[in-house]
A and B are shown apart, each in its own frame.
Chain A
Amino acid sequence: MGEFAAVARGVTKRFGRTLALDDVGIEVRAGESHALVGRNGAGKSTLVSILTGMRAPDAGEVAFFGEPAPPVADSAAWRRHVACVYQKATVVPELSVAENLFINRQDLGGGLIRWKKLRRRACELLETYDVAVHPDELVSALTVEQRQLVEIARALSIGSRFVILDEPTAQLDGPAIERLFDRMRSLQDKGVTFLFISHHLQEVYEVCQTVTVYRDARHVVTAPVSQMSKPDLIEAMTGEVGGLTVPSGDDRPSSAEEVLTVSSLSGDHFSDISLTATRGEVIGLAGSASSGKHEFAETVYGLRKPSAGSISVDGAPVRGGDVPAALEAGIGCVPRDRHHQGLVLDLSIAENATMSTAGTFVWPSAQRAAGSTAIASYDVKAAGPDQPVSDLSGGNQQKVVMARALAGDPSVLVLINPTAGVDVKSKESLLGVVDAQARRGKAAVVVSDELDDLRVCDRVLVLFHGRVVREFGRGWHDQELIAAIEGMSSE
């Protein structure tokens, strides 16, 4: 084809003293799916904001299909060239699907809004792109998957043939990710071009033809996916040889001393789950989004009330549905979503890290010292303990959440999606912390969809529809674990 859907050349962007992009470029061929990968802070988000006209570059140029990009002020023109599905929704939750599809053009050019016509056009549009959503439905009632499809359909209906997907899979479970990929492939056949951003390198191999790697605000390499092996790709991202090294913990000493005992626990979306964890043991909990694994973990930490059963730490029962009681008993937790539950973004690193453990009096100097210790212990890249966590990249924010969970030196750790949305290096260092804590005699429960997270575990329990359906010891194979998670247990 030879034509480029999007080209950026010599783009530089500064935010104050930080150089977010340093003379970078990208060339996305029309009709391909092009992956953009890099660690947190590599400059991906900044490039996306420049490619979508949200920000003007300090230097450099952008062109779509050979045409120079419109000025930043003309957002309507940008939307005809390029559309972006962000991690955060750009739809209005309390309006219907139909209205969202034609937002700010509800009159369809006629001056007055004719609701029947609008609804009919929405129906046609949804049908064209095979989106099984009712046009009258409120967007707030849709699943993440449906919401993304509505956003993609809207983008295509405006006329854009170049779609940026910014970490679209972060909030989807396995089957939904597969469906998204099928759709990407079929749209690609119809001539749509994708720029695909993801932290899951496996997905790059599954769905993309070309990959571009950024590191520290610079362009490192662009190559056909078929010519980049996974270790090469990781090396390009990190600048270090050797792929992801997850501590497997094979040589972790085991102990017979039980720390966490959960007996016949039932609650929201799960029932009758029992498990015991001994000192130094790491237990993985896997399962699809609807398996109840998150709810189970949140119940252990007291964020949800159990309907039956009991939890005890070191033999002492823990009051259910009471976070302070769980903390008191020695349970620490990395909650599911760092923005929603993990951090107070405007507060400092020191304050976030010590939030669960502060005594009655909070001395700023002591708090700052504790913050500095957390920064050093968990390898947080930050200017200092007084920096607000909103300034940090995702991986470093997650390390602060980890620091908070460990601040009280708990004997049990409950980690929910501990490496969600963090880059390879941060993932390595977070999983290293889990392994190190287990070696110090703590018990850990790791709830995750990511196989890398589960590799650090001594055993993995698979949940399906709220019950434990299988248990794997060490040395499981990816295929059999995935099969069990999807409910295709072949035992």
Chain B
Amino acid sequence: MTKAMTEPVAAPAPGKQKFRLARYQDLALVPVIVLLLVVGAVLSPIFLTPANLVAVLTQQSELSLLVLGQAMILVVGKMDLSLESTVGLAPALAVALIIPASSGGLDVGLAAWLALPLCLLIGVAIGGLNGFLILKVGLSGFMVTLGMLTMLRGLQLAITEGKSLIDVPESFLYLGSATWLGLPAAVWICVVCYAVGIFVLKYLRAGRSLYAIGGNSEAARAAGIRVDRVVWTVLVIGSVLAVVAGILMTGRLGSVAATQGEGMIFQVFAAAVIGGISLQGGKGTLFGALSGVLMLGLVEQILRLQGVSGFYIKASYGAVIILALIVTRFATGQKQE
């Protein structure tokens, strides 16, 4: 017998920890964000004012919740395209079940206080249904959620007959319009959600299992992780976060637009990938994803303050995302898959 030990031996005392770049991969975008702040300040005197920065945060709060959900779903090795139509449908359906037909509702007449719980429940149902189709029936996640994306959007148009719902219960508008301790409630909600998410994915066994599943689901199963249960839970959480984003958006705008959330999914993926989340699963952190969101928000605000024409802002936004991907590619030194 050679070096195989009979008893586990004490680990050698760790020497002085060497500085390892890999450990700080998370922070790769921080210098870019600082740079954007400097550029913004140079280009526009009002850029660094609290009002402007709070505006950026508020604008990005809804997107950031979607990115949070999508990032977890991507880490676990799946994707959910239907998040963006969940943003619209869940509030629309919940509100329609409460308001009378004269305001565009379904004339069911449920109590107004039910709006929020009902809306969250719809999110749970959508995520649960996605999970059922992907995990139990064994369908392609991409196609299922693409189908769901189209179906939910259509459903919203059918329910509201293509109109915005203006007669929204007061309780439903509160979160998106309230201010707590000087900051919009939406910003606080995002901060809390991210803080919880970052903690769970780093310090809880359940959170770490997301990386194991995304990295090698067979190995995760052999290690005793209940893979299907975890993936299902993550899909439900993703949908619920999308619903929360929808509630905040409704509150901010005061109504449920027929196109609420439309086109967001592209930004969601862009922010996640810029933030270092791998589309192949198993890689990336929520902090990274959050910095991706902030980076996009700052770029958008700089463009807006520069008075880029509305006709061009969409094109330039797409160009900026590709540029951001290139910058990130070299800032992190990692190929994006």
A433 interface residue (CB < 8 Å to B): yes
B329 interface residue (CB < 8 Å to A): no
A432 to B2, CA, bound (A): 7
Q: Is the CB–CB distance between A356 and B6 below 8 Å? A: no
A128 interface residue (CB < 8 Å to B): no
Nearest residue, chain B, Cβ from A323: B224
**Hey, what's the 0/1 contact readout for A367-406 against B, CB within 8 Å counting as 1?**
0110011111111000010100000000000000000100
Name B203's contact: one of A341, A344, A361 (CB within 8 Å): A361
Nearest residue, chain A, Cβ from B13: A372
A346 to B8, CA, bound (A): 25
Nearest residue, chain B, Cβ from A360: B205
Name A432's contact: one of B1, B12, B212, B226 (CB within 8 Å): B1
B315 interface residue (CB < 8 Å to A): no
Name B206's contact: one of A345, A360, A376 (CB within 8 Å): A360
Q: Is the CB–CB distance between A342 and B226 below 8 Å? A: no
Name which of A135-143, A149-157, A188-196, A435-443 contacts chain B.
A435-443
B208 interface residue (CB < 8 Å to A): yes
Q: Is the CB–CB distance between A377 and B8 below 8 Å? A: yes
A132 interface residue (CB < 8 Å to B): no
Name B218's contact: one of A340, A404, A430, A431 (CB within 8 Å): A340
**Hey, what's the 0/1 contact readout for B106-141 against A, CB within 8 Å counting as 1?**
000000000000000000000000000000000000
B220 interface residue (CB < 8 Å to A): yes
B20 interface residue (CB < 8 Å to A): yes
In chain A, positions 402-419 with a C-beta closer than 8 Å to chain B are 404
A66 interface residue (CB < 8 Å to B): no
Name B212's contact: one of A347, A372, A378 (CB within 8 Å): A347
Q: Is the CB–CB distance between B283 and A355 below 8 Å? A: no
B21 interface residue (CB < 8 Å to A): no
What is the interface residue range for chain B against chain A?
A: 35 or more
Name A362's contact: one of B1, B12, B208 (CB within 8 Å): B208
How many A residues, CB 8 Å from partner? Answer: 52
**Hey, what's the 0/1 contact readout for A417-452 against B, CB within 8 Å counting as 1?**
000000001001111110110011000000000000
Given contacts A373-B10, A376-B10, A435-B1, contact A344 B216 (CB under 8 A): yes
A335 interface residue (CB < 8 Å to B): yes
Q: Which residues of A contact B282 (CB under 8 A)?
A: 344, 346-347
Specify which of B10, B11, B202, B203 lies most central, judged by the most chain A CB atoms within 10 Å of its CB.
Answer: B11
Specify which of B4, B7, B202 lies most central, judged by the most chain A CB atoms within 10 Å of its CB.
Answer: B4
B155 interface residue (CB < 8 Å to A): no
B215 interface residue (CB < 8 Å to A): yes
Nearest residue, chain A, Cβ from B6: A436
Q: Is the CB–CB distance between A327 and B224 below 8 Å? A: yes
Q: Is the CB–CB distance between A429 and B3 below 8 Å? A: yes
Q: Which residues of A contact B6 (CB under 8 A)?
A: 436, 439-440
Q: Is the CB–CB distance between B9 and A346 below 8 Å? A: no
A113 to chain B, nearest CB (A): 30
B88 to chain A, nearest CB (A): 36
A324 to B222, CA, bound (A): 9
A364 interface residue (CB < 8 Å to B): yes
Q: Is the CB–CB distance between A376 and B226 below 8 Å? A: no
**Hey, what's the 0/1 contact readout for B199-216 against A, CB within 8 Å counting as 1?**
000111111100110011
Q: Is the CB–CB distance between A344 and B219 below 8 Å? A: yes
B181 interface residue (CB < 8 Å to A): no
Nearest residue, chain B, Cβ from A367: B208
A333 to B219, CA, bound (A): 11
Q: Is the CB–CB distance between A355 and B3 below 8 Å? A: no
Nearest residue, chain A, Cβ from B11: A372
Q: Is the CB–CB distance between B12 and A372 below 8 Å? A: yes
A345 to B282, CA, bound (A): 10
A300 to chain B, nearest CB (A): 13
Q: Which residues of A contact B202 (CB under 8 A)?
A: 362, 364
Q: Which residues of A contact B182 (CB under 8 A)?
A: none
Nearest residue, chain B, Cβ from A430: B4
Name A429's contact: one of B4, B215, B226 (CB within 8 Å): B4
B314 interface residue (CB < 8 Å to A): no
B225 interface residue (CB < 8 Å to A): yes
Q: Is the CB–CB distance between A341 and B219 below 8 Å? A: yes
Besides A247-B1, A360-B205, 13 more A-B contacts (Cβ < 8 Å) are: A323-B221, A340-B216, A342-B219, A344-B212, A344-B216, A347-B211, A347-B212, A351-B208, A355-B223, A360-B206, A373-B8, A429-B3, A431-B4
Q: Which 4 A-B pairs have the closest CB atoms?
A: A432-B4, A372-B11, A344-B215, A377-B8
Between-chain CB contacts (< 8 Å), 15 pairs: A335-B222, A340-B218, A342-B222, A343-B216, A344-B216, A344-B219, A344-B220, A356-B223, A361-B205, A362-B208, A364-B203, A376-B9, A429-B3, A432-B1, A432-B2
